[in-house]
Chains A and B, each alone.
Chain A
Amino acid sequence: MFSEDFTLSKRQLGFLLFTAGMLGFVAILSIDLLDSGREGGIGPAQRIGLFITVLTAFAGLTLIPLGDKPA
């Protein structure tokens, strides 16, 4: 990965995006679980954030079948 010529493949980028999306999704949901003093449930900014993380994870999934082609 750290060679002079290495470049990320579509599959690797797909895994990266999928992982980032899932971690982001959990992190945004955790705001409510960890911060017990908050009221009002999931707010509009969180909903947008959740949508973006799901979109990122989905985009990552769709890249994985593209294999070793350079990203």
Chain B
Amino acid sequence: MTMQRVSSPIFAKHISRILLVIGLLMMLGYFVVYVVYAANLIRFPFDYDQGEGFELVDTIMFSKGQWPYQDTETYPFYSSNYPPLFHVIAAPFVWLFGPAYWYGRLLGFLGTLVSAAAIAYAVYRGGRHRLVAVIAGLAFLASNTVYHIGPLFRQHMTMVMFEILAIVVLAHVNEIADKDKRRKQLILGLALLLAAGFTKQLAYATALAAFAFLFIRNPRRAIISGAIFGAVGVALIVWIVVATDGQWWTQTIAANVNPYNAQQTIGLYRLFWRLHGFLIVPAVLLVLYEFYFDRLSIYSLWFIAAIANGTLSGKWGAGDSYFATAIAATMILSGIFISRTLNRQWHFPENYLSRIFVPPLQRYAPQLATLALLIVPFAYIGYGRAVLHLPTTGPVFEQVADFLDIEPNAQGNFYDSAGRLVGGYADIGHLTTREDIEAGEAIVALMNATDAAVLSEEAAFSLRAGRDVITNPTQLLNLANNDLFEGDALIDMIERQEFGLIVMRAQFYPPAVLEAIGQAYQHDQFIHMNGFDYIIMRPILDEPLP
């Protein structure tokens, strides 16, 4: 059963086109904001988001041929909880430029551009509408979540890039008639999946979706390729576990079981809906259409898996970034839905559902087609309004903010429609200033003024002062939460006041370490940088304990 193809009035087509162009202009506006933000961060020499510095430390260690998965009970009490690939990719930059933040942020930023291009390609392949494909790719970058974590020295968006590339490569692998060509494409897709998994563990959900798709299309191929994929993955894991004396397992798997906050998860789902709802609706409609009237695509299964994986966003240390994969899947599905609607490519094969729904609607087909032409482009305009974020100071931005009558709600120079609404949402995205850099240099100067060791909650100050990076606080907390960290040697150093200076921000050390700091060190001053008060602490006694 096929809906009657009817032509819509020419004015409706023009209005539809104009609405799409408005959507495109909105997304281009967000792209400009994104580029300005990325350029600003790439120039900033300190931690912008908590934990960036430790990703740089991991990269430095790989550049020296060392594993960052170390025993945290011995000096310098450092370890990492992330798989190695992102840091290995960045390691050559350390050889060329030394320790710096800019290349990690640049890699993250470029990765998001590759992701956007892959989304645009997938949408064009699925719907054959160039303008919508471009808007869909840009819409991914316009998401508040993608915007604020894209240009960070973090591995998350590189994982998402590998996930998107894997899904796009595998999407039509079963239709390739040439056996040799099909095998090569399958290997490429699975290699990209492995790359995603060895960039960050969270990619497991994408791997499950990909194999579910392969199983539905051809169980034999799925089982054989799954067995090979699993064997390669396990072999790599065993190799790293053996090479690190078991530390990799302890640090990345055993220590990754964290306290769970269901309220945070619920809040982040609501936020995901509030920001992306205009595009989630068409995405869900396409999933339902494929479910009942067409073949299930890999995109639909990926969308379901990624949305379900959002339940992990309530873990301690998790947040809105856990929805980045779901956002990518949403952009692809909604883009294809909008393209097909504008191109009027819907067909409803006869079944019990089409017999119920199609005949009553068929007589209104011309009106429905015209209505769809006018309504569907509003999805991007509505989305553009929902994700509103921009700097509120500086040339052009200040005028735009005045015109839109918005006040900064994040760090004094930035408006974020999602800012400070729910727990777990990263309240970043603002631009750094010269004062922030001067404040960071002031902390470095304090470090340089002492000959003793320094303990800093962020690695940047230690790296810039040429000091040892001692501890990775959040990883110590991960380990402590799982009874995998005793910390006697570190606590002994603190009690003996062997650190001339302690710099803290979020105080993410394990409770026992914080308690020791509180007893042996006193507050000296706050230094405000990048919207946060850095706490400078000095030993309580003049002389170290004997």
Q: Which residues of A contact B (CB under 8 A)?
A: 1-8, 13, 44-45, 48, 52, 59, 62-63, 65-66, 69-71
Q: A65-B351, A71-B296 are in contact. Are A4 and B216 (CB under 8 A)?
A: no
Whether A71 contacts B219 by the Cβ 8 Å rule is no
A70's nearest neighbour on chain B, judged by CB, is: B295
Q: A63-B291, A65-B352, A71-B295 are in contact. Are A4 and B220 (CB under 8 A)?
A: yes
A45's nearest neighbour on chain B, judged by CB, is: B262
B349 at the interface (CB under 8 A from A): yes
Q: A8-B216, A8-B219 are in contact. List 4 more A-B contacts (CB 8 A).
A: A2-B223, A7-B216, A8-B217, A59-B291
Q: Which residues of B contact A (CB under 8 A)?
A: 215-220, 223, 262, 291-292, 295-296, 308, 311, 349, 351-352
Residue from the set B218, B308, B311 with the largest chain A CB neighbour count within 10 Å? B218
Q: A63-B291, A65-B351, A66-B351 are in contact. Are A13 and B220 (CB under 8 A)?
A: no
State in angstroms the CA–CA spacing of A2 and B292 once bound together: 25
- A69 cross-chain contacts in B, Cβ below 8 A: 349, 351
- A48 cross-chain contacts in B, Cβ below 8 A: 311
Whether A71 contacts B220 by the Cβ 8 Å rule is no
State in angstroms the CA–CA spacing of A63 and B293 once bound together: 10
Q: B80 to chain A: closest CB distance in Å?
A: 29
What are the nearest 6 A-B pairs in CB distance?
A2-B220, A8-B216, A71-B216, A65-B352, A66-B351, A44-B262
19 pairs across A/B with beta carbons < 8 Å? Answer: A1-B219, A5-B218, A6-B218, A6-B220, A7-B216, A7-B217, A8-B216, A8-B219, A13-B216, A44-B262, A45-B262, A59-B291, A62-B292, A63-B292, A65-B352, A66-B292, A69-B349, A70-B295, A71-B216
- A7 cross-chain contacts in B, Cβ below 8 A: 216-218
B314's nearest neighbour on chain A, judged by CB, is: A45
- B311 cross-chain contacts in A, Cβ below 8 A: 48
Q: B305 to chain A: closest CB distance in Å?
A: 12
B221's nearest neighbour on chain A, judged by CB, is: A4
- A5 cross-chain contacts in B, Cβ below 8 A: 218
State in angstroms the CA–CA spacing of A2 and B311 once bound together: 34
A5's nearest neighbour on chain B, judged by CB, is: B218
- B217 cross-chain contacts in A, Cβ below 8 A: 7-8
- B352 cross-chain contacts in A, Cβ below 8 A: 65-66
A48's nearest neighbour on chain B, judged by CB, is: B311
- A4 cross-chain contacts in B, Cβ below 8 A: 218, 220
B288's nearest neighbour on chain A, judged by CB, is: A59
- A13 cross-chain contacts in B, Cβ below 8 A: 216, 296
State in angstroms the CA–CA spacing of A70 and B213 once bound together: 12
Residue from the set B219, B262, B349 with the largest chain A CB neighbour count within 10 Å? B219
Q: B311 to chain A: closest CB distance in Å?
A: 8
State in angstroms the CA–CA spacing of A59 and B218 once bound together: 21
Whether B220 contacts A8 by the Cβ 8 Å rule is no
Q: B8 to chain A: closest CB distance in Å?
A: 30
State in angstroms the CA–CA spacing of A52 and B216 once bound together: 21
State in angstroms the CA–CA spacing of A17 and B271 once bound together: 29
Q: A34 to chain B: closest CB distance in Å?
A: 21
- B215 cross-chain contacts in A, Cβ below 8 A: 8
A66's nearest neighbour on chain B, judged by CB, is: B351
State in angstroms the CA–CA spacing of A44 and B218 once bound together: 37
- B291 cross-chain contacts in A, Cβ below 8 A: 59, 63
Whether A3 contacts B351 by the Cβ 8 Å rule is no
B215's nearest neighbour on chain A, judged by CB, is: A8
- B292 cross-chain contacts in A, Cβ below 8 A: 62-63, 66
B296's nearest neighbour on chain A, judged by CB, is: A71
- A3 cross-chain contacts in B, Cβ below 8 A: 220
- B216 cross-chain contacts in A, Cβ below 8 A: 7-8, 13, 71
A8's nearest neighbour on chain B, judged by CB, is: B216
State in angstroms the CA–CA spacing of A62 and B220 once bound together: 26
State in angstroms the CA–CA spacing of A17 and B461 once bound together: 53
B223's nearest neighbour on chain A, judged by CB, is: A2
- B349 cross-chain contacts in A, Cβ below 8 A: 69
B266's nearest neighbour on chain A, judged by CB, is: A44
A67's nearest neighbour on chain B, judged by CB, is: B351
- B220 cross-chain contacts in A, Cβ below 8 A: 1-4, 6
Q: A4 to chain B: closest CB distance in Å?
A: 7
Q: B303 to chain A: closest CB distance in Å?
A: 14
State in angstroms the CA–CA spacing of A31 and B19 once bound together: 52
- A62 cross-chain contacts in B, Cβ below 8 A: 292
Partner of B219, one of A2, A63, A65, A66: A2
- A52 cross-chain contacts in B, Cβ below 8 A: 308
A71's nearest neighbour on chain B, judged by CB, is: B216
Q: B265 to chain A: closest CB distance in Å?
A: 9
Q: B216 to chain A: closest CB distance in Å?
A: 5
Q: A33 to chain B: closest CB distance in Å?
A: 22
State in angstroms the CA–CA spacing of A2 and B308 once bound together: 30
State in angstroms the CA–CA spacing of A6 and B217 once bound together: 8
Q: B304 to chain A: closest CB distance in Å?
A: 10
State in angstroms the CA–CA spacing of A66 and B217 once bound together: 17
- B296 cross-chain contacts in A, Cβ below 8 A: 13, 71
- A1 cross-chain contacts in B, Cβ below 8 A: 219-220
State in angstroms the CA–CA spacing of A24 and B291 once bound together: 21
- B295 cross-chain contacts in A, Cβ below 8 A: 70-71
- A65 cross-chain contacts in B, Cβ below 8 A: 351-352
State in angstroms the CA–CA spacing of A44 and B262 once bound together: 8
A52's nearest neighbour on chain B, judged by CB, is: B308
B292's nearest neighbour on chain A, judged by CB, is: A66
Q: A48 to chain B: closest CB distance in Å?
A: 8
State in angstroms the CA–CA spacing of A48 and B349 once bound together: 34
State in angstroms the CA–CA spacing of A69 and B351 once bound together: 10
State in angstroms the CA–CA spacing of A65 and B219 once bound together: 22
